[in-house]
Amino acid sequence: MMEGPDIARIAALIGDPARANMLAALMSGRALTASELAREAGVTAQTASSHLAKLHAGGLVGTRKQGRHKYFSLATDEVAHLLENLMGIAAGAGHLRTRTGPKDQALRKARVCYSHLAGDLGTQLYDGLMRQGALHLDGSGMGLSDAGETLMRRFGIDLDALKSRRAPLCRECLDWSERRSHLAGSLGRALLSRFEAVGWARRDAASRAVLFSAEGEARFRETFSLPAR
């Protein structure tokens, strides 16, 4: 006993419903203010402040002060990965909370996972990149092949800027609805924001859903050689 790191400490952090709701809200990838998170969790500002302080001390969220606002976001991709993982188990093992409403279906099709694309389209993208050899997974981790780099540059991704950062370019992230991997890392982030920039998709304001237009989805499938739906 007592071997390995203190797992209970951070599990307990996530274990409070108010904090869990805050973290789930931060899975949108957007940085949110303390009051927004308070509203999201359904508690008053004071309790939210206390919760956020604990999340910060526990290393799960990062903060940024801007004027009289304080913005919170998930600390790392790994935290997002953990949360997604938790959702998978909660969806499978917990009672069937998955009442597949219409909004729920949109979430399953495409949603934001921290800051990259998840859901059916996210895993399809990942699979497609793997299939055509744009992505590879070898000893040193995951990376882009030459063909992949060309593809990304042609799509308008500034790879040089991404590479100059310390953050890993490619990571995989387990999808809770699909139970398969999708692409995370700074490239995953850049791709999602590019999808928005070129008008293929936009984020739902109220949820984590990513709404592709009909034409946007067609162009998306075409660009990454995915089967037409």
Partner DNA sequence: GCAATGCTTCGATTAGCATCGAAGCATGAT
Partner DNA sequence: ATCATGCTTCGATGCTAATCGAAGCATTGC
- Under the rule (CB under 7 A), what is the footprint of DNA? 12, 16-18, 33-35, 43-54, 67-70
Question: Does 210 engage in binding with a copy of itself (CB under 8 A)?
Answer: no
Of 109, 128, 145, 194, the residue at the interface with a copy of itself (CB under 8 A) is 128
Given a contact cutoff of 8 angstroms between Cβ atoms, the answer to whether 202 and 194 are in contact is: no
Contact predicate 20/79, CB 8 Å: no
- Minimal CA–CA distance to 25: which of 83, 96, 108? 83
Could you give the CA distance from residue 197 to residue 158 in angstroms, rounded to a whole number? Answer: 13
Q: Which among 46-54, 145-153, 159-167, 173-181 is the span making contact with a copy of itself, rule CB under 8 A?
A: 173-181
**CB distance 77 to 173 below 8 Å:** yes
Question: How far, in Å, CA of 66 to CA of 71, rounded?
Answer: 7
Beta partners for 141? 138
Give the footprint of a copy of itself on residues 146-165 (CB under 8 A): none
Which of DNA, a copy of itself, none lies near 128, with the C-beta cut-off 5 to 8 A by kind?
a copy of itself
Q: Would you say 95 or 166 has its CB closer to a copy of itself?
A: 95
CA angle 32, 10, 186 (to 5 degrees): 50
Q: Which range, of 79-87, 143-151, 154-162, 183-191, touches a copy of itself by CB under 8 A?
A: 79-87
Three-state SS at 25: helix
Number of residues that bind a copy of itself (CB under 8 A): 67
Name which of 36 and 127 has its Cβ closer to DNA.
36
Point out which residues bind a copy of itself (CB under 8 A): 1-17, 19-21, 23-25, 40-42, 58-60, 75-76, 78-79, 81-83, 85-98, 103-104, 107, 127-128, 130-131, 137-141, 174, 176, 180, 207-208
